Structure 1
Amino acid sequence: MDLQRNILIFFFLLCSFLLWQSWKVEINPKSSVIQVKENKKRLFIPIIEEKKNIFIKTDTIFLSINRYGGDIDQASLLEYKDKLHSLQCFRLLETKSDFFYQAQSGLTGKDGPDNPHYGTRPIYVSAKSYFKLNKGQKELRVPMVWIGKNGVIFTKIFIFKSGSYDITVQYEIKNSTNKILECSMFGQLKQTINLPKSGNFYSKNFALQSFRGAAYSTENSKFNKYKFNNIVRNENLYLQTKNGWIAMLQQYFVAAWIPQSKGMNVIYTSHFNHDIVAIGYKSDKIYIMPNENYKIHANLWIGPEIQEKMAILSPGLDLTVDYGFLWFLSQPLFRFLKLLYNIIGNWGISIIVITLIMRGILYPLTKVQYIAMAKMRELQPKIDDLKNKFSDDKNSFNKAMMNLYQQEKINPFGGCLPLLIQMPIFLALYYMLMSSIELRHAPFYLWIQDLSDQDPYYILPIIMGFTMFCIQKMSPNNISDPVQQKFLNLVPILFSIFFLWFPSGLVLYYIVSNIITIVQQKLIFYYLEKE
């Protein structure tokens, strides 16, 4: 099997992958969307005002908490910019007229202050409206208090740790009555289905799109995606599980509730007014005895998808990094790449080094491929003779070809094996570059300032196309059909066009891989001719 046929196979597989990738990306139907402005009278969307909100600043995050219910209606990540070279921090949660994304929590149930039958939520009181985690301070506690009509004191405490995106939301309930109180803790994430025009966290580039939607974990399944469209169609979840978590995903960033309550939790989804969806959990019933103080809490992650930290927080939470169906390859590949980065200090150089290592490991298979190509080239005159001899009998020609391969001890499909091995590695690297927060806005050299984004000047795809052209010209050509030959000549151009929108880190990998192919091909053919 010659290299031209391998290129055609690879091109077919890549096109199929791109079509599948574009099809599976979440696309929200415009027909089912009603703007939030049209529904704001029916929805609770609090307006951020200083007198109604509490503001919190740590070394990693800036939050706005609404006193009405104690929900987080705005969260900015201080260590991440919204765009390359921007001075503005990335805002993950926000409450605006055209977009709504909140992390809500409360106590519901018979005696819970957030029981929907009450028609209103508690308005918490705080000692001040601004809290800051000072330098050298390891922990910041932000208490908010609400006292019910029966004298029960509910204290909602947000606990922040230095250098962390993990927030503990704790309820302390002081039951000063003579009756048993019954309630349940809930946490939910609510978001507008369609992004506003100003939304900057979901790429319009078809090659850089990742899953945006809900996700959850149960005691029996570590990770499950759930599309917004399923919720819109009222295909809602209602699952009972111990432990687990719920989340909303987008490229690079995640918000997730991790319950810490004992007993069973209910995971659910819901749909509001055609335009907002929610995923949440509700704990088992808790009972607070008369004159008893009771505590219940949950963890809330608001931040980047840092795999090692999320894995510690809850099993399977690190799987929210969307590596697709090749996650089992992408994860070890990323760990190895990160190890190289810790040594080298540049992600681009690390990609080059990992390419050299991977191609070195695959060299024995590559050698087999080129030896098969060389033998096929030597057999070409005999194959031409068989074509002339059995020009009118295809079956006889095929049998004669198989006999010839057996006599010469040639496997006609031997050249496909390196391609079949390299294709999953290529796709795993694609998912890794597209989804790993560490590579977001990671510079290489000169004009490449973001390896996770496309080359702004399209220089790398052109270089890649040139290397493909060189490989094609160096390889023996057994195709006599002029139509097929013209198509083969177009392959480097078509690949270059496809790769215009691919992450520049992936194009860099492919350029280095092609250069290694050119060198290996020259060396192998040289020694074969010498022998």
Structure 2
Amino acid sequence: MNQTRTFLIFALLALAYLLWTDWEKDYGPQPAPVAAATTAPSADGSVPASSGSTAAIPASGGSEQAGQLITVSTDVLRLTIDTRGGSVVRSELLNYPAEPRTRNNPNPAPARLLDDAPEHFFAAQSGLVSTHGNAPDHRALFQAAQTSYALADGENQLKVDLTWTGADGLKVTKTYTVNRGSYVVDMDQRVDNGGSAAWQGNAYQQLQRVAPATTKSWFQSFSDPSSHSFFGAGWYSPQDKFDSLGFTDFQKKPLDRAVTGGWIEMLQHYFFVAWIPKPDEAATFSTSVINPNTAAPLYLIRAVGPALNVAPGQSATSTARMYIGPKLQGTLDAVAPGLELSTNYGWLTVIAQPLHWLLSKLHAIVGNWGLAIIALVLLIKAALWKLTATQFRSGAKMRKLQPRVNALRERYGDDKVKMQQAMMELYKKEKVNPMTGCLPVLVTMPIFFGLYRVIMESVELRQAPFFGWVHDLSAPDPWFVLPVLYVLVMLATQWLTPTAAGMDPAQAKMMKVMPILFGVMFFFFPSGLVLYWVTNGLVSLGQQWLITRQVDQADLKAKTS
């Protein structure tokens, strides 16, 4: 099997994989109509917090009149907190531009994750509920001392207090703490009971958002890397590890589970927001859909903590942390166990994570992600050198047998059974194994798919430049230079190996056209992945030329000796 046929196996499998994922999104099973479930909103618009005596938590989100907006800025984050509920309603990632920097737009706006715009609504909310007595939920109106907070030069930490006072003497102080260089936000809810009766309640944290718009055409979805990424909710427990729930599955598979030492999150391409409850306290994780029959339903994931009991004159504090930022691998497990799995590689995780680790190490050496991809190809080719050398030697020997194979075809005509038997006898006599060419495919195929997921999902490669015209390795080549180079490499490979032994002439003609067809398909692939294939093809072409020359020289020497 020559190099072109080897690639075609890859390309066909890749195309089938992409088509299957897109078909699933557009035509896969759709959610059933909402049934009466424990997580469905009740008649008064509330959702049960959990299956115990915990008070119902209001299910409204985004519909209340906003309070005062407070801006909190660090060196990496700019947060907007609404005093209505003390919710984080907007977050801007200052080190991640929403659009690539260009000559016409040298300072693009930062990427926004949490967002209070109705069409992109995404909020991180928290509050308290009580079965009896007052409690400030995520609709309560808090007070703040000022409208703008910023981490000053020389300071490493900033605290922002919001206060709420009830008529019965209950006072709640919600404190957000941000740190320099960190995407982790600490959040405390301190309850001071100034009344005459004991207070009992529960603290909760939740994420609400609308699903991203799906108005793109199939062609736009195919060429947009974010269309192949997972959007939805995720959670982690030490027992069951990571699990996720796409927006279309919220109604079919509602979550209701008690977890100690876990976390909840909302995921999207490159970025995510997670609530991380106190690790030694049990919390109830649940999901629900708010206003499911409207054009823009809200999808909610929530964590409800254990009961807080506060005697008169006493206080109690509920703590949680929030991560608002990029999927930076190698750092997230230090924030919370299992948070590294937020980079959702799916069933390719076991392959993609080591590839990302290796790419990161290579990037630390060469300083460029494109060069790191080239270095990765060289390492893979070096590791598989003997295996691919065996493939090319077998291909060279089979090519020399082509005249004898053609003679067998003429002898047996349309009798394919006898033709195959005669070919197998010929290969056995000449000690040629036609299956040798499949071995490199079986070894490198998982690498191809794993690298595809790494390039598509790794935020480090987002807007990462290579050289010259390639400004974003996660996006298609804007000038199609790499796809054209790939076509030239594969045509050169075909010239070196014009026809595989035993191939039907009609198939041979099709093989000559396929590199061009798949080169066109590469117009829409991430340029980093095409760079991988161009480099792989060039190295394979050089190796094939070298081994073919060695085989020819060995045959010539045998004839002259």
1:487 paired to 2:510? yes
CA displacement 1:321-374 (0-9 Å, x = unmatched): 122322222212112211222222211122112211111111111101001112
Distance in structure 1 (CA, Å) of the matches to 2:240 and 2:281: 18
Name 1:524's counterpart in structure 2. Answer: 547
Name 2:164's counterpart in structure 1. Answer: 146
Shift of residue 380 of structure 1? 2.9
The letter for the 2-side match of 1:106 is: G
1:479–1:4 distance in 2 versus 1, CA, 3 Å = farther
Distance in structure 2 (CA, Å) of the matches to 1:474 and 1:27: 43
Instruction: Name the SS of the counterpart of 2:401 in structure 1.
Output: helix
The letter for the 1-side match of 2:18 is: L
CA displacement 1:301-323 (0-9 Å, x = unmatched): 11111122211111221111122
1:443–1:449 Cα contact (<8 Å) kept? yes
1:480–1:55 distance in 2 versus 1, CA, 3 Å = closer
1:171–1:297 Cα contact (<8 Å) kept? yes
**CA RMSD after TM alignment:** 2.8
1:186 paired to 2:204? yes
Name 1:36's counterpart in structure 2. Answer: none
1:7–1:127 distance in 2 versus 1, CA, 3 Å = closer
Distance in structure 2 (CA, Å) of the matches to 1:126 and 1:330: 45
Distance in structure 2 (CA, Å) of the matches to 1:106 and 1:180: 19
1:25–1:211 Cα contact (<8 Å) kept? no
Shift of residue 57 of structure 1? 0.9
1:96–1:88 distance in 2 versus 1, CA, 3 Å = same
Shift of residue 69 of structure 1? 0.9
Instruction: Name the SS of the counterpart of 2:205 in structure 1.
Output: strand
CA displacement 1:382-426 (0-9 Å, x = unmatched): 433443444454334433433333333332211011112222111
1:75–1:510 distance in 2 versus 1, CA, 3 Å = same
1:112–1:354 distance in 2 versus 1, CA, 3 Å = farther
Name 1:239's counterpart in structure 2. Answer: 257
Distance in structure 2 (CA, Å) of the matches to 1:419 and 1:284: 53
Distance in structure 2 (CA, Å) of the matches to 1:47 and 1:27: 36
Distance in structure 2 (CA, Å) of the matches to 1:30 and 1:93: 26
Shift of residue 10 of structure 1? 2.7
2:225–2:474 Cα contact (<8 Å) kept? no
Shift of residue 30 of structure 1? 12
Shift of residue 154 of structure 1? 0.9
The letter for the 1-side match of 2:458 is: S
Distance in structure 2 (CA, Å) of the matches to 1:311 and 1:44: 31
The letter for the 2-side match of 1:320 is: S
Instruction: Name the SS of the counterpart of 2:115 in structure 1.
Output: strand
2:90–2:116 Cα contact (<8 Å) kept? yes
CA displacement 1:266-295 (0-9 Å, x = unmatched): 111111113211111111222223432212
1:407 paired to 2:429? yes
2:61–2:208 Cα contact (<8 Å) kept? no
Q: Where in structure 2 are the equivalents of 1:257-406 lying within 5 Å?
A: 257-260=275-278, 262-274=280-292, 275-391=297-413, 393-406=415-428
1:157 paired to 2:179? no
1:96 paired to 2:113? no
Q: Which moved more, 1:494-503 or 1:329-338?
A: 329-338
Name 2:234's counterpart in structure 1. Answer: 215
1:22 paired to 2:18? no
Instruction: Name the SS of the counterpart of 1:455 in structure 2.
Output: coil
1:507 paired to 2:526? no
1:3–1:373 Cα contact (<8 Å) kept? no
1:62–1:304 distance in 2 versus 1, CA, 3 Å = same
Instruction: Name the SS of the counterpart of 2:168 in structure 1.
Output: coil
The letter for the 2-side match of 1:317 is: L
Instruction: Name the SS of the counterpart of 1:95 in structure 2.
Output: coil
1:261–1:297 Cα contact (<8 Å) kept? no
Shift of residue 82 of structure 1? 0.7
1:58–1:133 Cα contact (<8 Å) kept? yes
Shift of residue 458 of structure 1? 1.2
Distance in structure 2 (CA, Å) of the matches to 1:228 and 1:27: 15
1:80 paired to 2:96? yes
Unaligned runs of 5+ in 2: 34-44, 46-58, 555-561
Distance in structure 1 (CA, Å) of the matches to 2:93 and 2:65: 18
Q: How many residues align?
A: 516
Distance in structure 2 (CA, Å) of the matches to 1:58 and 1:5: 54
Task: Give % identity.
Answer: 34
1:113–1:484 distance in 2 versus 1, CA, 3 Å = farther
Instruction: Name the SS of the counterpart of 1:369 in structure 2.
Output: helix
1:109 paired to 2:130? yes
Alignment partner for residue 45 of structure 1, among 62, 71, 77? 62
Instruction: Name the SS of the counterpart of 1:307 in structure 2.
Output: coil
1:169 paired to 2:191? no
1:65 paired to 2:87? no
